[in-house]
Amino acid sequence: FFLSPKLEHKPKGKLQKQICGVVLDHFEKQYRAELGSAWSSVRDVLTSPLCWQHALLLNRFSQSPDLERSLSEQGYHPAFPGPLPYLPAGLKCYLRRSPGRFPAQKHQAGRLKDYYLLNAASLLPVLALEVGDGEAVLDLCAAPGGKAVAILQCACPGQFHCNEYDGLRCRWLEQTMESFIPEPLLNLIMVSKLDGREIGDLKPELYDKVLVDAPCSNDRSWLFSSDTHQAALRLMRRKELSWLQFQLLRSAVKALRPGGSLVYSTCTLSKAENSDVITLLLNSCSEVVPVDISAMAKAVSQEFTFLAGLQQHELLVLPERGRAWGPMYVAKLKKI
């Protein structure tokens, strides 16, 4: 299995995106205040798509025998050499320092893909969730499906419920699952289009683990909004997101069994959508307590840069050149 390194770069036309000035100005004010001196290097990465990196999550259900050797020859190395508090043998992710993107595999009915292209930081919520075989798991906002695929690389849940409220995104989720998961296991996965805010009432105390990868102001994509008017509208409505995220978390707590774990994640740097939402939940819900994930963060600090000064139950991955992963916020809670 070999793919020429020349194929790893997307056509230049797709990479030469235009930065949306309205969004950048907004981020400049907000993130300079929230991140301080760290913002300059983060901004440098977020506004330079040519330096972005992509990782490969290998599919344990369909691996080409020569893929790992080929990746090694092209400068890729395992993302998590260990030891981590939780790292199942089936979870294999490869990355390299240099930018560029490995060729994507097209969806083919009846044929499983060998790997999933992703931002390596998006695996941290899955590692924090620590799913075990036989557990009942809920992925509350599951599209496009990368974290669900990663969960299934880690373990075989006794029950796996993937939910996505948006119809188009739900179809995207279903196609992702069809591309990576064999039929016998696929038949055990429930995909729904429920309002995530209502699942806690519909399925109270049913799950051992719940992942809330919440809708958020996606910093990478928002910076390259082609429609300035739409971008301005998004920024105006940005404050509404934190309330939605809080409602999703309250629903997730209801859906959790006592003793169960909840992981919350976003792909934004925004404090209002990250730490503030978790603080609000902890202050208003006596059923949940924070869980220390600092050992996981320390174990992967060679590959990821984290914002200093956060609590032990949370982390925020900051993109920097050579380690252009994130933004990715992760927080872990437990229901008592």
Question: Which tokens go with 212?
Answer: 């809330």
Catalytic option among 93, 162, 216, 267: 267
Q: Is residue 58 within 8 Å of residue 102, measured between CB atoms?
A: no
Q: Is residue 294 within 8 Å of residue 312, measured between CB atoms?
A: yes
Residue with tokens 């006592």: 258
Determine the Cα–Cα distance for residues 134 and 157; give it in Å rounded to an integer.
Answer: 4
The DSSP 8-state label assigned to residue 150 in this structure reads H
Question: Which tokens go with 97?
Answer: 């320092």
CA angle 162, 46, 321 (to 5 degrees): 105
Known catalytic residue at 267 = yes
CA angle 262, 330, 188 (to 5 degrees): 45
- Known binding residues are 141-147, 164, 195, 213
Q: Which residue type, as a one-letter code, is found at position 277? A: V
Question: Which tokens go with 238?
Answer: 């940005």
CA torsion angle 109 151 207 272 (round to 10): -110
Q: Is residue 231 within 8 Å of residue 302, measured between CB atoms?
A: no
- Residue 279's contacts (CB-CB under 8 Å, 6 or more residues apart) are none
- Burial class for 196, CB neighbours closer than 10 Å (0-12, 13-18, 19+): buried
- Known binding residues for S-adenosyl-L-methionine are 141-147, 164, 195, 213
Q: For residue 319, which of 42, 121, 28, 95 has the smallest C-alpha distance?
A: 42
Distance of CA 246 to the CA centre of its chain: 18
Catalytic residue set: 267
